[in-house]
Amino acid sequence: MDRQTELFEEHRGRLTGLAYRMLGARGEAEDVVQDAWLRWRVLESEEIENAEAFLVRVTTRLCLDRLKSARAQREVYVGPWLPEPVTDAAELSPHTTAQLAEDLSYALLLSLERLSPAERAAFLLHDVFDASYSEIAAVLERKEATCRKLVSRARLAVRSEERTTEVDAAEHRRLLEGFVAAVMTGDVETFSGLLAEEAIALSDGGGKVLAALNPIYGRDKVTRFVFGIARKQQADGAEISVRAASINGRPGLLIDVDRALDQCVLIDTVDGLVTRLYFVRNPEKLERLASG
């Protein structure tokens, strides 16, 4: 392996993590990093004073270009859009000491989705990847003062979302295990008791499989939704199995129906109760997990 390739490979995981956080799709993130590699490959490494800064700049700009078409696609997306789940969160680490460095939660990714592309890039580069405002200004081709405002607005928007950055993994596992046991035994009361009164369920089928077309609000409606699906599958005689997995750095569930991966389940919690449930059923977003 030549030195230029070695330099790029040293940064590949970090670049993929940046692109995934920008785009919410692992496959697209890898495509962006491959494009960055092609641009890097035609250069002489001696021409680049700071390889990491150059690669971060190229990757971010490529992501911003992709977001233009992604936003248009998501405007016509069928039902709620959720990020593609990943099981190798550690490989996507920015390797910084920033508070949000290891946070790949759906709560954060969906908060980023509601930002403008420039706000998202500025926030990620500063608060997750620990870039200076001068570096961000070079990436976005804007004044430093403008970049400070972008980060500040994004930070306020992200913090306004009800979410936790530090997760009690044991609590997550306890709640998930409680869910599985309650659904398998038909214990509606126990299941409902694990939910916050204002719980929300988001189900992403992408128009390719059956899923709720709108968010489901409230403990009672979420409970009816989950048990409605479970009863239908049981009535159809489906073979259902549940596996625990680390998904986006948090405990989650992989549910197989008739020995094929049917959905990925993640939760957010506050004060020992589930506030949000995420059901990813879009087969395209499960393809990587299914093949792994």
Angle (CA) 81 256 109, round 5°: 25
pLDDT in tens, 269-285: 988 999 999 999 999 99
Cβ atoms of residues 96 and 130 within 8 Å: yes
Asked whether the beta carbons of 216 and 227 are under 8 A apart, the reply is no
pLDDT at 15 over 90: yes
pLDDT recorded at residue 178: 94
- Name the residue type at position 72: A
Task: Report residue 148's pLDDT band, with 50, 70 and 90 as the boundaries.
Answer: very high
For residues 117 and 71, give the distance between their C-alpha atoms in angstroms, rounded to a whole number. 9
Give the model's pLDDT for residue 252.
Answer: 96
Tell me how far apart the alpha carbons of residues 281 and 257 are, in angstroms, rounded to a whole number.
Answer: 12
Residues facing residue 273 across a β-bridge: 270
pLDDT band at 108 (very low <50, low <70, confident <90, very high): very high
Separation between Cα atoms, residue 20 and residue 63, nearest integer Å: 9
Q: Report residue 214's pLDDT band, with 50, 70 and 90 as the boundaries.
A: very high
Tokens of 57: 């700049």
- Given a cut of 60, whether residue 163 has pLDDT beyond it is no
Looking at residue 238, its pLDDT comes to 84
pLDDT tens string 65-91: 999 877 767 778 999 999 999 999 999
